[in-house]
Structure 1
Amino acid sequence: MIPQNYQQWRHCIVNECRIELTPLYIQQRLQVLNDKSHQETKRLTFLYGKTHLEKLITWFNAAACEALTAAPGKAAPGFH
C-alpha cells in the first residue's frame, strides 16, 4: 500500500518498517529527496511521480517539526 496521507505514511515508516524518525535520519532523507539530480530521487519520481515525491518531502518536513518539539530524551509521537 502506498500511503496517501501523513498518518498512513508515519504508521508505515515507524510501525511497519520499524524505522526511527530521528532528526538525523529525517535530515538525510530530505537532503536526498530535495536533490533532483540524485539517482534515488530520479528513480522515485519515475516510479511514483512528482506528486508523490512532493508528498514525501512534506511528510518528512512534518516529521522534522514533530522531532523538534519532542521533549529531550523522548521520542517524537509515534516512536515505539
Structure 2
Amino acid sequence: MIPQSYEEWRHCITVICDQPLTRPFIEARIRALNTPTDHMTAKFVQLYGDEQRARTLDWFERAKREL
C-alpha cells in the first residue's frame, strides 16, 4: 500500500512499522530524501517515483512542524 494522504502515511509509520516520529528520525529522513545520491532515496524513487518522494518529504516536514 502506498499512502495517499498524510494520515495514511503517519499510520503506516507509527502503527504498522511501530516507528516513533522523533525529531532525530524525522531530520535524518528529511536529509536523506533531499539527497538524490542517498542509496535508500535512489531506491525509493526507483520504486515509487519522484512525485511520491516529494510527497513523503512534505509529510516528514509536516510531522516535524507538529512536534
Q: Is the partner of 2:28 in helix, strand or coil?
A: helix
- Aligned residue for 2:32? 32
Q: Percent identity?
A: 37
Does 2:1 match 1:16?
Answer: no
Q: For the residues of structure 2 that align with 1:30 and 1:20, how far apart are their CA atoms? A: 15
Counterpart-to-counterpart distance in 2, 1:42 and 1:24: 21
Which protein is richer in helix relative to its size? 2
Structure 2 gap segments, 5+ residues each = none
How far residue 3 of structure 1 moved from its aligned partner, in angstroms, is 0.5
Distance 1:11 1:42 in 2: 24
RMSD (Å), alpha carbons: 0.6
Consecutive unaligned residues in structure 1, runs of 5 or more = 68-80
TM superposition score normalised by structure 2: 0.96
Aligned structure 1 segments of 4 or more residues deviating by more than 2 angstroms: none
**Which structure has the bigger radius of gyration?**
1
Aligned: 1:60 with 2:54: no
Aligned partners of 1:55 and 1:42: how far apart in 2? 15
